[in-house]
């Protein structure tokens, strides 16, 4: 006589579904942890980069402005165009201002082997596009 219960090796459907649910919960929680870690890393790197580069950028702007070149009221000097110009573009909340002037700093790049004693300098300034809770919110970038 055969027994009503057969010894079969395997899993029931309920066991497989429960195992899949547990696996899905673990994978989802690991994915959320990895995503939040990557977001935090990106945020910290952006702030560190701004804090590292900010003083160098301000030093460059200060040097360019200290060496801004303008002609005096001399009859022998002809002015063609603007030597110092600023444009306010956009509104107060979405300003994308520009600043153009001539500086007596030597040019950074030589064009066809020619360097210049006077260099036209231009800066474009716009508001940073960062989250409101970032320490960089409200700062401006060049």
Tens digit of pLDDT per residue, the chain (142 long)? 455 566 677 889 999 999 999 999 999 999 999 999 999 999 888 888 878 888 888 888 888 888 887 665 566 656 566 667 777 777 666 667 788 888 887 766 666 777 777 788 888 777 666 666 665 555 555 5
Domains of the chain by residue range: 13-68+80-141
Residue-level pLDDT at 40: 92
Nearby residues of 83 by Cβ (< 8 Å), 6 or more positions away: 69, 70, 71, 101, 102
Residue-level pLDDT at 80: 66
């Amino acid at each position: 006589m055969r027994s009503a219960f057969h010894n079969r090796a395997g899993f029931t459907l309920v066991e497989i579904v429960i195992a899949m649910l547990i696996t899905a919960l673990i994978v989802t929680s690991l994915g959320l942890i990895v995503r939040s870690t990557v977001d935090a890393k990106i945020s910290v790197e952006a702030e560190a980069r701004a804090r590292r580069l900010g003083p160098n950028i301000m030093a460059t702007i200060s040097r360019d402005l200290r060496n801004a070149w303008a002609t005096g009221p001399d009859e022998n000097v002809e002015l063609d165009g603007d030597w110092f110009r600023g444009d306010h573009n956009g509104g107060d909340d979405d300003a994308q201002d520009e600043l153009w002037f001539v500086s007596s700093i030597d040019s950074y790049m030589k064009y066809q082997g020619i360097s210049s004693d006077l260099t036209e300098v231009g800066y474009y300034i716009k508001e940073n596009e960062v989250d409101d809770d970032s320490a960089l919110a409200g700062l401006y970038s060049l």
